[in-house]
Amino acid sequence: MLIMAAQEEFVKLLTAHRSMLYAMAYSICRKHDDAETIVQDASITMWEKFSEFEPGTSFGKWSRAFLYRTAMNHVRAVRRLPLACDPDVMESLSAGYESMSGVFRDDRLIDTLNTCIDELPATDKGVLHLRFQQEKDCASLAGVLKKSVHAVEVILYRIRKRLELCIRTKLQTQDSST
């Protein structure tokens, strides 16, 4: 039962920090697949070492240390990945992520974004799916949608603006009701 509680706590903490870890990994390697691999490898190591984590301390800081070491090992092993920046800059980035950690953990913002996406028309949701889940660039989207690249850029811009307005409105409504 104790193992189950530790596993649940780990999953909860990792889920809350995953976006930040992915952003950090991507800022190091600049490739989505490699960033995902780095996050997965770091997550495995973190789970193996989770018994060493001290409750009440910063999981974000603890997890970033694992991610940083995993990313550096990945970059050294692969050698084809250019370092986006030197180790000193990475330390600075890590400190920046620490100061922004509240942004990444704000479940309310993520929930609001998901609600707003759910409210989009099906065609807009399809475009977002192609762009972000299938990682298609604007040129690829243009081919799929049979539109010009510029038209796709305009579509994405309008979706982004719609989402921004929806999120702002919902957050303001939530803030005024509390």
| Region for 79 from its dihedrals, namely left if φ exceeds 0, alpha if ψ lies in -120 to 50, beta otherwise | left
CATH code where residue 142 lies: 1.10.10.10
Q: Is 150 exposed, middle or buried (0-12, 13-18, 19+ CB in 10 A)?
A: exposed
The number of folded domains in the chain is: 2
- Tens of pLDDT, residue by residue over 7-32, are 888 888 888 889 889 888 888 877 88
Cα–Cα distances in angstroms (integers) from residue 29 to residues 62, 81, 103, 110, in the given order: 20, 6, 22, 25
pTM: 0.47
If asked whether residues 92 and 147 sit together in one domain, one would say no
If asked whether residues 57 and 141 sit together in one domain, one would say no
Q: How would you label 121-132 residue by residue, b for 16+ Cβ within 10 Å and e otherwise? A: eeebeebbebbe
- Tens of pLDDT, residue by residue over 32-91, are 888 899 999 999 999 999 989 888 888 888 999 999 999 888 877 776 544 555 555 555
Domain end call among 43, 76, 104: 104
If asked whether residues 66 and 152 sit together in one domain, one would say no
If asked whether residues 82 and 116 sit together in one domain, one would say no
CATH code where residue 62 lies: 1.10.1740.10
If asked whether residues 93 and 123 sit together in one domain, one would say no
DSSP state of 58: -
Helix axes 32-48, 59-78, angle to 10 degrees: 120
Mean pLDDT of 122-149: 86
Lowest mean pLDDT among 32-46, 95-109, 154-168: 95-109
If asked whether residues 112 and 157 sit together in one domain, one would say yes
If asked whether residues 10 and 83 sit together in one domain, one would say yes
DSSP state of 82: P
Residue numbers of the domain that contains 17: 2-104
| Region for 86 from its dihedrals, namely left if φ exceeds 0, alpha if ψ lies in -120 to 50, beta otherwise | beta
**pLDDT value at 174 more than 60:** yes
Mean pLDDT of 139-166: 90
If asked whether residues 96 and 15 sit together in one domain, one would say yes
If asked whether residues 58 and 115 sit together in one domain, one would say no
Domain end call among 61, 84, 104: 104
If asked whether residues 34 and 63 sit together in one domain, one would say yes
Answer yes or no: are the C-beta atoms of 64 and 98 closer than 8 Å: yes
